[in-house]
Amino acid sequence: MGGAGGRIRVVKGDITTLAVDAIVNAANESLLGGGGVDGAIHRAAGPGLLAECRGLYGCETGSAKATAGYRLPARWVFHAVGPVWAGGGRGEPGLLASCYRSCLALARDAGARSVAFPAISTGVYGYPIEAAAGIAVREVQGFLGTFPVPETVVFCCFSDRDREIYETLLEKTDAP
């Protein structure tokens, strides 16, 4: 349960397996692949994804670009570049919020009815999960409160701890 009239779900698992219209990648500025969820998405999607990414010429931190999903169940991948955590004084919260808004706008404009997010920036990029999840929940709730598409958003967590953090936040912010 939880949030924006039941339009937000939390799952634990591998985002590459989700049958949603779009999944979000936690990419880096090159968009040419990396470790973590980025590596998993490129492995699962196959070489067509990297070929399309080469033609995008990178992406600025705080923004996102769309590609097809190739061998993934998802039709689209939104490649978001989150900030590297540097203590919080270098605009990281605003840049992370901007990633979520950029992906949600891509979903809206493409007509993606369901979109799944990983916990952007909270792996190798070091963003503290509680703070990052708070931004993710706030931005998604704000967007869903304003726009009808996407209809549903999935927070795809890679650990039980992360899942509990999202669930707790959504319970707190649930409308009575």
Question: Which positions touch ligand ADP (CB under 6 A)?
Answer: 14-16, 26, 36-38, 40, 82, 118-125, 156, 158, 162
Catalytic residue selected from 14, 21, 38, 109: 38
Closest CB to ligand ADP among residues 143, 166? 166
What is residue 20's DSSP assignment?
S
Closest CB to ligand ADP among residues 4, 26? 26
Beta partners for 117? 155
Q: How far is the CB of 11 from ligand ADP (least distance, A)?
A: 9
Q: How far is the CB of 150 from ligand ADP (least distance, A)?
A: 18
- In 3D space, the residue among 170, 78, 87 whose CA is nearest the CA of residue 127 turns out to be 87
Closest CB to ligand ADP among residues 78, 158? 158
88-to-85, 94, 126 alpha-carbon distances in Å? 6, 10, 11
Task: Tell me, yes or no, if 38 is annotated catalytic.
Answer: yes
User: What is the phi/psi pair of residue 25, to 5°?
Assistant: -105, 140
What is the pairing mode between strands 22-27 and 114-117? parallel
Give catalytic residue positions. Answer: 38
